[in-house]
């Protein structure tokens, strides 16, 4: 069952990198072949990842496919929901502004993002101290002798 997002902020556009867009275009072409093969059985629901006849994929099949792909590609066995958490944590770790991550996450307020992903911001105090150090270290300072 498809349901709307919990909040207005949850309805959003998410920008994707060119490599992902290219792969999605290839997937769309493959899906067109699937539609032709299914012919009259195909039920158009405007889904990116439907089952073989255009209906929403079952959670069991989606999860099975996901686990198989992880295994085939030598990736760690990570919980599907953790993908969201991991990607948002990575963005914060890379220094992406909190407001940008907030919008990508669909959080209504930046405080929700910082409360949820605060562990990813913990390094920022150390990083800020190091950046200031780099900025002022080149300045020669004579110490006053007593």
Give me the residue spans of the domains in the chain: 16-77, 78-138
pTM over 0.85: no
DSSP-assigned states of every residue in 40-66: GG------SSB-TTSSBPPHHHHHHHH
Q: Tens digits of per-residue pLDDT, 68-93?
A: 999 999 999 988 888 888 899 889 88
Between CA 114 and CA 98 the distance in angstroms is 7
Q: Tens digits of per-residue pLDDT, 93-133?
A: 888 899 999 999 999 899 999 888 877 776 677 777 887 88
DSSP SS3 for 97? coil
Residues 47 and 54 sit within 8 Å (Cβ to Cβ): yes
- In terms of Cβ atoms closer than 10 Å to its own Cβ (0-12, 13-18, 19+), residue 137 is exposed
């Amino acid at each position: 069952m498809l349901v709307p997002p919990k909040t207005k902020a949850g309805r959003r556009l998410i920008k994707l990198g060119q490599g992902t867009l290219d792969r999605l275009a290839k997937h769309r072409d493959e899906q067109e072949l699937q539609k032709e093969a299914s012919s009259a059985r195909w039920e158009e629901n405007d889904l990116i990842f439907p089952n073989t006849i255009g209906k929403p994929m079952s959670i069991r099949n989606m999860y099975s496919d996901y686990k198989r792909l992880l295994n085939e590609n030598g990736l760690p066995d990570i919980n599907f929901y953790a993908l969201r958490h991991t990607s948002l944590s990575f963005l914060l770790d890379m220094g992406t502004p909190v407001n940008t991550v907030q919008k990508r996450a669909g959080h209504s307020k930046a405080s929700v993002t910082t409360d949820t992903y605060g562990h990813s911001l913990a390094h920022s105090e150390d990083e800020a101290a190091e950046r200031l150090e780099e900025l002022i270290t080149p300045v020669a300072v004579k110490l006053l002798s007593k």
